[in-house]
């Protein structure tokens, strides 16, 4: 039973950064942008979280710094892709490289360390016990007592779905994705909507990055995002950006992460268990492509 | 050609100015820093040789990315293809009992095979199941990283070493140095010439470029775009794998943990900033190699951490790419104004 709870906890914590980044990417996806800078925003968020937590000795300052840092990255993306109309793919790649370089450089400059920074004065984001849910018989230990950011991610999923599908802003967001010229001619600049989408993406990736470095571990390591931004991109493509679907996919990847850890205790070498999330992504991509092929074949065949 | 050279140079200049600004804000001396960069990368034969040697994997992965992007497939798998090529070459170098004239070409072929195989996985998944090679190559990068790490700590580990690495490959597999310059440069020149020839002057390359610009047009024109897709993936994978093999054979002569860590993503960056043009890729590859080689020396003289170079590189990429459109438009306006002034005025109507 404890193994199951551990597995679920591992699933939730593995899913959270991917889900937060994917939600951020969903906003830009709906706005019609090809945003691949989530990887860099996650990394910058993780670094700034450690920065804030180190200098202000508080995890709240860390989270705030993470959101600000990742939003600054988003602002750079806005400057180059929206204002200067640089190709979005190129901007994303360049910003990801910039994030790696800047965090490595600042790690060296500010903390005088290479590789990773761990420090006792870094506060971790706390776990939260919810009084009523805690006493639920079987699900109690799962529903309550998880890290704060996990609950934030769950709330963010609901909030994103509401924002995208039930508000005027969301309508304009999706309009920018369907037909930006129409939106422009209706009086709302698509560029402004896209800028907002990018800032929201930055904020969410900042939260995800803060969870990476201050969630269960309390350190920053070079290149800490380790491909999670790419996995969140895959998730967005797989479910066409729908927040509920993103939550499911993120849980799947989190599960594969946790499964990897479980397999380690079964004497499978750590490197192979580490591959599980990426293999899971490939598997999900296969299922997605197979389903699309079947749907297209059915459409072409017609009824009967 | 000259136009892109001007915009590139202008972009680099602006980026260097921005870098100088960042350095000033931190209290460093930009002039001394740039001077140290130059001194340690290009000023004498020794540093020039190092710069050229470091440029080999950068240029090869850059060519790999350039050819792929210009032909259609989004091959972002150079990091994985590089390490797989390096692994194949290392294993061959450990176990093939051949003399140097045979072993070196064999290892180079093995490296290309490793890279091509890894890219082939992505190509296969695309052809068989229509899985986007964008995501697949990215996932394969991480898988290749983990796989090679297992390989150098498991079956091919050096028992006497205190950090993860393989034993050194046989000396007959080491690329010799000629007058201080690595013979890998010869391999690089041959590979670059070969891919340049195929891309610009061979029917296959023509079809690739056509497909890259408009796949539908190419297909309707009779190109077998599916087969070309696979070919491009295999060829670009082979280039990246070759880079990995050369890193091992010309460098540490063994597979170390973290081998070629940055080279492959830098290759993508170089392709991006060169706008997928092959000569531009070679030039930018040399330029970024000079920056990276000079960085270590720069740190000795001006105490600017060598990691700053990564930031400077990213700034250069962003500025060059962003300004490409702007500067081009500005140059267009300038030439139009010049031509308008040179034209004789129309006679006044009577």
The 10s digit of each residue's pLDDT in A242-290 is 899 999 989 988 888 777 777 777 777 878 888 888 888 888 888 888 8
Determine what percent of chain B is predicted with pLDDT higher than 90: 33
Tens-digit pLDDT profile for residues B229-261: 999 999 999 999 999 999 998 888 888 887 877
> How confident is residue A147, by pLDDT bands cut at 50, 70 and 90?
confident
Mean pLDDT over residues B162-176, rounded? 83
Residue B329 has pLDDT above 80, yes or no: no
Residue B1 has pLDDT above 60, yes or no: no
Strand, coil or helix: B69: helix
Residue B275 φ/ψ region, left for φ over 0, alpha for ψ in the -120 to 50 degree band, beta for the rest: left
A87 — contact with chain B (CB < 8 Å)?
yes
What's the structural domain count of chain A?
Answer: 1
Tens-digit pLDDT profile for residues B261-283: 777 788 988 998 888 888 889 98
Residues of A with CB below 8 A from B132's CB? Answer: 237, 285, 289
Cβ–Cβ of A97/B125 closer than 8 Å? no
Residues of B with CB below 8 A from A83's CB? Answer: none
> How confident is residue A1, by pLDDT bands cut at 50, 70 and 90?
low
> Is A250 contained in some domain?
no
Question: Are A18 and A232 spatial neighbours (Cβ–Cβ below 8 Å)?
Answer: yes
Q: What ipTM was predicted for this assembly?
A: 0.81
All structural domains of chain B with their residue ranges: 55-261
Residue A124 has pLDDT above 90, yes or no: no
Containing structural domain, residue A74: 16-226
> How confident is residue A303, by pLDDT bands cut at 50, 70 and 90?
low
Residue from A101, A109, A224 to probe the interface with B (highest B Cβ count within 10 Å): A101
| Between B76 and A5, the higher pLDDT residue | B76
Q: What's the mean pLDDT when you consider all of chain B?
A: 87
B318 — contact with chain A (CB < 8 Å)?
yes
> How confident is residue B101, by pLDDT bands cut at 50, 70 and 90?
confident
Q: How far is A239 from chain B (nearest CA, A)?
A: 14
> Is A41 contained in some domain?
yes
Mean pLDDT over residues B185-214, rounded? 91
Residues of B with CB below 8 A from A93's CB? Answer: 268-269, 272
Which of A20-29, A129-138, B182-191, B248-257 is predicted most confidently?
A20-29
Residues of B with CB below 8 A from A292's CB? Answer: 130
Q: What is the DSSP letter of B178?
A: E
A292 — contact with chain B (CB < 8 Å)?
yes
A136 — contact with chain B (CB < 8 Å)?
no
pTM score, two decimals?
Answer: 0.85
A97 — contact with chain B (CB < 8 Å)?
yes
Residues of A with CB below 8 A from B131's CB? Answer: 282, 285-286, 289
> Is A243 contained in some domain?
no
Mean pLDDT over residues A61-76, rounded? 95
């Amino acid at each position: 039973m404890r193994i199951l709870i551990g597995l679920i906890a591992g699933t939730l914590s593995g899913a959270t950064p991917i889900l937060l980044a994917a939600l951020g990417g969903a906003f830009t996806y709906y706005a019609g942008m090809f945003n691949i800078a989530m990887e860099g925003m996650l990394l910058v968020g993780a670094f700034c979280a450690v920065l804030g937590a180190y200098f202000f000795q508080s995890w709240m300052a860390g989270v705030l710094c993470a959101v600000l840092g990742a939003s600054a990255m988003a602002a750079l993306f806005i400057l180059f892709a929206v204002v200067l109309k640089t190709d979005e793919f190129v901007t994303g790649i360049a910003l990801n490289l910039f994030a790696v370089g800047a965090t490595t450089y600042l790690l060296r400059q500010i903390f005088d360390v290479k590789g990773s920074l761990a420090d006792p004065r870094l506060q971790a984001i706390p776990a939260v016990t919810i009084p009523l849910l805690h006493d639920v018989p079987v699900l109690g230990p799962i529903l309550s007592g998880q890290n704060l950011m996990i609950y934030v991610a769950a709330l963010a999923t609901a909030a994103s779905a509401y924002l995208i599908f039930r508000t005027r802003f969301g309508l304009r967001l999706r309009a920018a994705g369907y037909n930006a010229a129409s939106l422009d001619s209706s009086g709302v600049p698509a560029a402004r909507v896209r800028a907002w989408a990018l800032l929201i993406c930055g904020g969410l990736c900042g939260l995800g990055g803060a969870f990476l470095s201050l969630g269960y571990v309390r350190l920053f390591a070079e290149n800490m995002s380790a491909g999670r931004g790419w996995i969140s991109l895959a998730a967005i493509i797989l479910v066409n950006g729908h927040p509920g679907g993103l939550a499911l996919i993120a849980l799947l990847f989190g599960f594969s992460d946790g499964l990897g850890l479980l397999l380690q205790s079964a004497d499978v070498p750590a490197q192979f268990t580490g591959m599980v999330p990426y293999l899971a992504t490939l598997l999900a991509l296969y299922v997605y492509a197979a389903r699309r092929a079947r749907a297209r074949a059915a459409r072409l065949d017609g009824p009967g | 050609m000259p136009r892109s050279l001007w915009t590139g140079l202008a972009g680099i200049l602006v980026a260097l100015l921005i870098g100088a600004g960042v350095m000033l804000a931190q209290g460093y001396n930009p002039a001394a820093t740039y001077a140290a960069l130059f001194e340690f990368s290009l000023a004498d034969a020794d540093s020039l040789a190092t710069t050229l040697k470091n440029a080999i994997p950068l240029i090869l992965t850059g060519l790999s990315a350039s050819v792929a992007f210009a032909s259609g497939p989004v091959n972002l798998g150079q990091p994985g293809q590089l390490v797989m090529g390096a692994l194949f070459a290392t294993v061959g170098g450990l176990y093939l009992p051949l003399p140097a004239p045979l072993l070196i070409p064999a290892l180079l072929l093995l490296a290309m095979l490793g890279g091509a195989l890894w890219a082939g996985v992505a190509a296969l998944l695309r052809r068989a199941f229509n899985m986007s090679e964008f995501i697949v190559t990215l996932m394969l990068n991480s898988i290749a990283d983990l796989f090679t790490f297992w390989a150098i700590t498991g079956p091919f580990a050096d028992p006497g070493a205190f950090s993860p690495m393989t034993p050194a490959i046989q000396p007959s597999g080491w690329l010799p140095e000629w007058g201080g310059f690595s013979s890998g440069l010869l391999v690089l020149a041959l590979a670059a010439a070969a891919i340049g020839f195929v891309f610009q002057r061979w029917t296959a390359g023509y079809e690739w470029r056509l497909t890259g610009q408009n796949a539908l047009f190419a297909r309707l024109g009779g190109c077998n775009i599916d087969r070309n897709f696979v070919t491009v993936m295999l060829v670009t994978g082979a280039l990246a794998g070759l880079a990995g093999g050369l890193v091992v054979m010309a460098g540490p002569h063994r597979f170390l943990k973290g081998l070629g860590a940055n080279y492959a993503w830098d290759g993508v960056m170089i392709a991006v900033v060169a706008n997928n043009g092959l000569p531009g890729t070679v030039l930018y590859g040399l330029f970024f190699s000079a920056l990276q080689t000079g960085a270590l020396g720069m740190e000795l003289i001006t105490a600017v951490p060598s990691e700053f170079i990564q930031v400077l590189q990213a700034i250069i990429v962003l500025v060059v790419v962003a300004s490409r459109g702007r500067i081009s438009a500005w140059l267009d306006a300038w030439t139009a104004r010049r031509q308008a002034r040179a034209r004789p005025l129309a006679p006044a109507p009577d």
